Amino acid sequence: MSLIVINFKAYKEGFGKNALKLAKIAEDIASRCNEKLALAVSFLDLPVIVREVNLDVFAQHVDPISFGSFTGKICPEMLKEVGAKGSLINHSENRMKLSDIEFVVSKMKELDLISIVCTNNATTTAAAAALDPDFVAVEPPELIGTGISVSKARPEVVSRAVEVAKKVNSKVKVLCGAGISSREDYLRALELGAEGVLLASGVVKAKDQKKALEELVGL
């Protein structure tokens, strides 16, 4: 079963009460379709959504630290303690140093948390795969938030990322993202070898979030 990760970002429509509402919509839709849905939500919303919603909930970022003398930082151990399933790492809007990505991926693995390392092209996807995360998610930054889907506009990025990532690490799963909003975009991504997608505005900023998500999963 492939995976659809909905990144709520810092969108007003995906924060606070809106986050919980959207998470509930996703939970309902997930129960009625054949796709696996997961949510990446704000730190401020994470504990309540973990408690209230029966879907895998991810953080959007995690800092390369452990418990200790740090201020305003979130460590993997904290995510574990609040019940997150894992975290996005190195998203285009929160890029990290190579050594920090490695630290976090390694720590997440120890804690049985799922790592989704975002990348910007096929080459960085191969590099990320070498760190042995659970998922890599290739997203050409220039398409993020555009509604022009990577699977249509840059199909070769997806297929090439799958190829080089699997060559480096046959166990890693490859997602793709950027501009994906329709079921067609999604299915095209799967045809290109992706094992799921990462999306945000296509659902979170949709006029009708429920309808957008239902369309995406084929309801």
Are 89 and 62 spatial neighbours (Cβ–Cβ below 8 Å)? Answer: yes
Among 145, 147, 155, 193, binds its own copies (CB under 8 A): 145
Instruction: Decide: is 146 part of the binding site for its own copies (CB under 8 A).
Output: no
The string of DSSP letters for 112-125 reads T-EEEEEESSHHHH
Among 46, 49, 180, 217, binds its own copies (CB under 8 A): 46
State yes or no: is 61 an active-site residue: no
* Range 6-36 burial, b when 16+ CB lie within 10 A, else e: bbbbebebbbeebbbebbbbbbebbeebebe
Instruction: Decide: is 132 part of the binding site for its own copies (CB under 8 A).
Output: yes
* Amino acid occupying residue 27: E
Instruction: Decide: is 43 part of the binding site for its own copies (CB under 8 A).
Output: yes
Instruction: Give 6's contacts (C-beta < 8 A, 6+ positions apart).
Output: 22, 26, 37, 38, 39, 40, 199, 200, 203, 204, 213
State yes or no: is 215 an active-site residue: no
Are 72 and 39 spatial neighbours (Cβ–Cβ below 8 Å)? Answer: no
- Per-residue binding letters, 14-33, with its own copies (x by CB under 8 A): -xx-----------------
Catalytic pick among 35, 91, 102, 215: 91
Among 1, 32, 72, 170, binds its own copies (CB under 8 A): 72
* Amino acid occupying residue 104: V
Catalytic pick among 35, 61, 102, 139: 139
Are 96 and 176 spatial neighbours (Cβ–Cβ below 8 Å)? Answer: no
3 state DSSP class of 3? strand
Instruction: Decide: is 53 part of the binding site for its own copies (CB under 8 A).
Output: no
Instruction: Decide: is 166 part of the binding site for its own copies (CB under 8 A).
Output: no
Instruction: Decide: is 95 part of the binding site for its own copies (CB under 8 A).
Output: yes
Instruction: Decide: is 190 part of the binding site for its own copies (CB under 8 A).
Output: no
Instruction: Give 94's contacts (C-beta < 8 A, 6+ positions apart).
Output: 60, 61
Which C-beta is closer to its own copies: that of 31 or that of 167? 167
Q: Taking contact as CB under 8 A, which single stretch among the options 31-39, 119-127, 149-157, 182-190 is the one that binds its own copies?
A: 119-127
Instruction: Decide: is 11 part of the binding site for its own copies (CB under 8 A).
Output: yes
Tell me which residues touch its own copies (CB under 8 A): 7, 9-12, 15-16, 40, 42-44, 46-48, 59-62, 65, 67-75, 77-78, 81-82, 88, 90-102, 106, 119-121, 123-124, 126-132, 144-145, 164, 168, 200-201
- What is the set of active-site residues? 91, 139
